[in-house]
Structure 1
Amino acid sequence: MKELIQRLFRRPVLAAEIFIATFFITLLTLAMPLYAIQVFNRYIAYGFHGTLITLTTGMLMAVFLQLGFRILRTKMAGAVNQAPNDCLSLEVLAVISQAKAEPLNQFSRQRLQDALNSVQTIQNGYDEQTLTTMMDAPFSLLLIAVIYLLSPFLAGIAATGIMIGLLTGWMGIKKSQQGLERLLGETSKHRALNYSAVNALDTVRAFSAAGFLQSLWQEQLVKISELKKKMTDTKGLSQALTLSGSSLTSVFLYAIGATLVVQGDLTVGALIGVNILAGRAYQNITRLVPAYHMLNKAGEAFKEITLLKRLPLEPISGAALRVYQGRIEFQDVGFAYPNTTHPVFESLSLTIEPGTALAVVGQNGSGKTTLAKLLMGLLEPRRGSILADNVNLQQLAWPWWRRQIIYMPQEPGFINGTIRENILFSTPDLDEASLNHILRASDLKSFLDQTPNGLDTMLTDNGKHLPLGIRRRLSLARGLATNGRLVVLDEPTDALDETGVKAVYQIMNDLMKAGKTIIVFSNDPKILKGASSILNLNIKPTPMLSHQTLAG
């Protein structure tokens, strides 16, 4: 509710116009009961057709005027919500794309997905229908006031019926919400199991896991089916009670109103008008229950997004060197992951001069990928500094710095889009000749020539449908597109066939000839042979650096 009020106050003129439109809609709602009263009291009593024509014409005008006001109000309500909804989407995207990696990693993938889905929940909660419902409800008190002027006793009956309808609806929503939370939990588990199975279809077949999956599926589906049935029953009962409440209110209004008509305290037309007014007020006010429920869901979603928005973001401002020469220096750098007892490494100090090559070796888990991420600014040192041309990386603008690096990560990741778009993320203006040169160098031309759409082939499921070797080549091509002075290659020959490995060797030779600074994380003997220095991460806690003389 607080967010709804804030949205209205951000657009005070528009909010006032919505308020005025709602007022006129409510006034025009009075036209129908007034029409009924006049038809029964004047036309039926006297039978003058001119009266009926005049009343009907006025009523039709009121109907079309109310329709116009409703359409206009809906558009204005949409305008009130559009900017905040768009702003929220951009804020969440900024957090996902710019949050520092370590705090972001505290959120599980499922939780991040839920946070992104929360944006839609909020947008659904603060939509035009919710806003107009919240506006209609208080104005419905005006309808009760008109009933009071006609008959205070009938106004009390109408108000009592509406309160019972509200209470019934609220209890139904509350019970449905409890069931929904349990249903969402079971559905989430079932989706996770399905996703796990789809991502490991070969494992399911090769190790006869179908029976195991079937038993889990059956158990989950039975629970989901039972919860759905309970929710359907609860929802149906709630709706039936709400509708019955409206009918019962009408019954009591007519029964007691009829005695008032017999006593001469009320006219037949007034009785029918009272019932019309009570029905409209009942409808408007009982709609508050689902609207309030939607606002509550949106409020819970806001809490989740607020936690996400508190994550520290990478600074987008900072220094940018006029020309980066390619020098990298580690000064007493240490790093340890949270909640671990031993550092990945510490007291790492070394200098890599422009145009030289450093090979980093180590067994699995020794910290090769961690060191690569430190160079990319995806992780921050716990101690010490990393300098580029004598400038601390923390002082540089990260977007600028990452464009200075030809980066090939160990685990290639892509966004759902075309191959061209994924390669040119950092360099969208790269000319076609340069792009074709990169594709040939990365050994991608033959693959692209065999695909119907070539570079315009769509990647789905983050590119996981492609063979790993192709994904590695695409990752290499994406890195080469920046043409940076620093080259960071994490296990560049892994999962590549002989042709792909030769392509990597050739690319590294070409990069060395071009005077690039190369830091390669690999245990490949041929790559190690071409490095001027080797950093051994197997030595703990301080890695050992050795130098070697290159032939020729």
Structure 2
Amino acid sequence: MSTNGRPLRWSLRSRWRMAELVGLCVAITASYAGQGLLLAVVVDDVIEGGGLAGSVPALVGLVAVQAARAALQWRREVAAAGAAAAVKEAVRDDLYAQLLRLGPADVRRRRTGAVQSTLVDGVEALDAYVGRFLPQAIAAIVGAAAIAGFLLALDPVVGTVVLACALVVPVVPQLSQKVLASRMDPWMAAYRALYAENLDAIQGMATLKVFGAARRRGWELTEKAKDFCRVSIRLCAVTVLYVGVVGLAVGFGTAFAAGLGAVRNAEGALPALSLLMILLLTRECFRPLRDLQNAFHAGYPALSAATGIFEILDADPPVRPPAQPRTPRGRSLALDFDAVTFTYPGRAEPAVRDLTLGIGAGEHVAVVGRSGAGKTTLIGLLLRWFDPQRGAVLLGGVPVTGWDLDALRRQVAVVSQDTYLFHRSVRDNLTLARPDATAAELREALAAANAVTFVDALPDGLDTVVGERGMKLSGGERQRLAIARALLADAPVLVLDEATSSVDGANERSIAQALRRAAQGRTTLTIAHRLSTVRAADRIVVLDRGAIAESGSHDELLARPGAFARLVAAGTTREENPS
């Protein structure tokens, strides 16, 4: 479906509100036409010498029409807001659901600011298109056609002139659309880029300050803002030209119809009352078309803004749910990577190549290796952020491609190096794992993560808001909350991705003990550099360029002159005293 058609399809989700809007717009146009007819009657009575006494019914009608129009206009504003809000809500629901389907693997390819501007400003741009342009387009056609038909009945010559000029107004937007699109698309792209750059600068403000680059970055943003200003001026130039052509058609049609009607009245071919009706109704014939012009001018940016929405909605998810999902259950599930090869899009070298690794139910396996060896990729494959090009990942003996996606991810609790906490309370962040967790269970998870003391010291305890990304807490405190959240999930599979990277030595020892207790009876995969976090693993696997270089127990690997020993010697995997 074309870009123009898809917003229309969204509008049909609120078809009854849209029908009401169209009816209200037609009724408002009819009130203006009725006002013109009544004024013509009043003026004709005065000219013919009847005075105002005979015009009382018409004057009362004028007052009634004015009052009715005021009520109709109020109701139109309410209905427009309601219809637009319903459509925007539906579009945002679609976008949010699609982003969840796309997952982190796809979202990371897009700039955060660009996505945010689409979710906020892009959707908001639909307001004028749905609430103003679409209903006004239908109402303008109906209203203008009805009035032009009445004028044709009064005088075919004048009616033909008015109809010809009226046809120009809706045709101009179609003719100018390509020109507008050539300006609007770059404008919206520049807007999203500027939004993303500013968000990036705000998020990285501390780094800019530390390196003395804040002023330089400000100059760069100023230049980008100037570029955006130039694009905006080019768009405005085209828009003004379009508005001028429409205004010329409206003005010419009104003046020519009035002049022609006066000539025909002087020739005796047109009665005075008919001339008055033509003079007043010609203006009202163009009124809905002028309103359409304004609505088009306000609503057209939505078509360009919708491009960003469609880019997200049309993106192919990196993984698709199975037709007949399975959900194996168990306290502990085996995890197997069977001849897995995976290459990230745009990369030439595989992140993981022909990797076969089996982790038995309840077994604790640690994976180590240099940066870029493919360790974190294993987590993404397990959680199905993406699927391997060759081979299979199995959980509980079932390929993860056969699992229900939500059920699969509920089986895995992850504590990552990059801890993310939401701008909500400690309690809210913990109960992401289990919304029905009791106070005692929350307390137990915090105790296991050595987080009770600092949580109790917070101003509002569990109800303390941790700030955006948890910035009101230290790195170690954030990490301990993440560990407590994973423990609270009580999942059969536990994944620790540098889980103690942000805690000090004393806390690391106590947390490591808690994690060892949590790993009992669970399948545990540890990704780590610190030797103290892998020493307790049943088996250590060393990855090198996406393949297994060697595996064995800690003592076995350290005794060999192999990859693990070289990592320790090079300091990549640091051995620390666990006592």
In 2, Cα distance between equivalents of 1:31 and 1:368: 76
Q: Which of 208, 212, 216 pairs up with 2:212?
A: 208
Q: Name the counterpart of 2:568.
A: none
- 1:434 is paired with a residue whose SS is helix
Note if 1:444 corresponds to 2:447: no
1:130 corresponds to 2:133: yes
8 A Cα contact 2:113 2:192, kept in partner: no
Q: Relative to structure 1, is the Cα distance of residues 504 and 541 closer, same or farther in structure 2, using a 3 angstrom cutoff?
A: same
1:291 is displaced (CA, Å) by 4.5
Q: What one-letter code is carried by the residue in structure 1 that aligns with 2:134?
A: L
1:521 positional shift: 0.9
The answer to whether the 8 A contact 2:45-2:52 is kept is no
Q: Distance in 1 between matches of 2:384 and 2:237?
A: 54
Q: How does 1:272-287 map to 2 (within 5 A)?
A: 272-287=276-291
Residue of structure 1 equivalent to 2:560: none
1:32 lines up with 2:39 in the alignment: no
Q: Structure 1 residues 422, 272: CA separation in 2 closer, same or farther (over 3 Å shift)?
A: farther
Correspondence 1:42-61 to 2 at 5 A: 42-47=45-50, 49-61=52-64
Q: How far, CA to CA, are the matches of 2:198 and 2:210 in structure 1?
A: 17
Higher mean C-alpha displacement, 362-371 vs 49-58: 49-58
Matches within 5 A, 1:67-466: 85-99=88-102, 102=105, 107=110, 109=112, 112-113=115-116, 115-117=118-120, 120=123, 123-124=126-127, 126-139=129-142, 140-163=144-167, 165=169, 178-232=182-236, 235=239, 239=243, 242-243=246-247, 246-289=250-293, 291=295, 293=300, 296-297=303-304, 300=307, 303-308=310-315, 312-315=319-322, 318-458=325-465, 461-463=468-470, 466=473
Q: CA deviation at 1:278?
A: 1.7
- Cα distance, 1:398 vs. partner? 2.5
Rate the CA distance shift 1:99–1:205 in 2: closer, same or farther, 3 A: closer
* Cα pair 1:320 1:396 within 8 Å, conserved: yes
- Match of residue 528 from structure 1: 534
Kindly state the Cα deviation for residue 546 of structure 1 after the two structures are TM-superposed. Answer: 0.8
Contact 1:100–1:313, Cα closer than 8 Å, also in 2: no
1:475 is aligned, of 479, 482, 496, to: 482
Cα deviation for residue 388 of structure 1 reads 2.8
Gaps of 5+ in 2: 557-577
| Cα shift readout 1:255-301 (whole Å, capped 9, x = no counterpart) | 33333333333344433322322222212124444545357447645
- Matched AA of 1:153: V
Q: Structure 1 residues 296 and 508, CA, compared in 2 at 3 Å: closer, same or farther?
A: closer
1:41 to 23, 30, 44: 44
More displaced stretch, 128-137 vs 241-250: 241-250
Alignment match of 1:517 (pick from 516, 523, 533):
523
Q: Is the 8 A contact 2:114 2:195 kept in 1?
A: no
Q: CA RMSD in A?
A: 3.8
Cα distance in 1, alignment partners of residues 551 and 358 from structure 2: 10
Equivalent residues of 1:424, 1:478 under 8 A apart = yes
Residues 361-408 of structure 1 show CA distances to partners (whole Å, capped at 9, x for unaligned) of 111111111112222232323333333332332222222232222211
The separation in 1 between residues aligned to 2:203 and 2:10, in whole angstroms, is: 43
In 2, distance between residues paired with 1:226 and 1:309?
35
Alignment CA distance shift 1:431-1:53 (3 Å): same
Deviation at 1:105, TM superposition (A): 5.2
Distance 2:140 2:113 in 1: 38
**Distance in 1 (alpha carbons) for counterparts of 2:230 and 2:107:** 36
Relative to structure 1, the CA distance from residue 9 to residue 268 in structure 2 (aligned partners, 3 Å threshold; closer, same or farther) is same
Task: Return the letter of the residue paired with 1:260.
Answer: R
Change (3 A) 1:170 1:410: same
- 1 CA distance for matches of 2:211 and 2:304? 43
Alignment of 1:481-496 (within 5 A): 481-496=488-503
Query: CA distance change for structure 1 residues 496 and 271 in 2, over 3 Å: closer, same or farther?
Result: farther
- The equivalent residue for 2:572 is none
Task: Out of 142-151 and 345-354, give the one that drifted further.
Answer: 345-354
**Alignment partners' CA distance in 1, 2:30 and 2:294:** 25
Asked if structure 2 preserves the Cα contact closer than 8 Å seen for 1:36 and 1:269, the reply is no
After TM superposition, the structure 1 stretch with the greater mean CA deviation from structure 2, 70-79 or 470-479, is 70-79
Letter of the 1:91 counterpart: D
Secondary structure class of the residue paired with 1:330: strand
Shift in alpha-carbon separation, 1:287–1:72, aligned structure 2, 3 A:
closer
Structure 2 CA distance for partners of 1:62 and 1:317, relative to 1, 3 Å: farther
What whole-Å deviation, never above 9, does each CA across 1:415-465 have from its counterpart, x for those lacking one? 444443232223111111111222233343444445444444445554466
Classify 1:51/1:186 alpha carbon distance in 2 versus 1 (closer, same or farther; 3 Å).
Answer: same
2:533 & 2:467 partners in 1: Cα distance? 33
Counterparts of 2:309 and 2:184 in 1: how far apart (Å)?
Answer: 19
Q: 1:282 to 1:389 in 2, by over 3 A?
A: same
Identity within the alignment, %: 20
Give the stretch that moved more between structures: 500-509 or 8-17: 8-17
C-alpha separation between the residues in 2 aligned to 1:199 and 1:80?
Answer: 35
Counting matched residue pairs gives 550
Give 1:67 deviation, angstroms.
Answer: 5.3
CA drift of 1:307 comes to: 1.7
3-state SS of paired residue (1:351): strand
Paired letter, 1:258: A
The answer to whether the Cα contact below 8 Å between 1:78 and 1:127 also exists between their aligned partners in 2 is no
Contact 1:9 1:15 in 2 (8 A): yes
Match status 1:542 vs 2:545: no
Report if aligned partners of 1:28, 1:66 keep a CA contact under 8 Å in 2.
yes
SS at match of 2:489: coil
- Which segment is superposed worse, 91-100 or 249-258? 249-258
- Which deviates further from its counterpart, 127-136 or 104-113? 104-113
Query: Alpha-carbon deviation of 1:358?
Result: 1.2
Counterparts of 2:186 and 2:340, CA distance in 1: 48
Kept after mapping to 2: 8 A contact 1:359/1:531 = yes
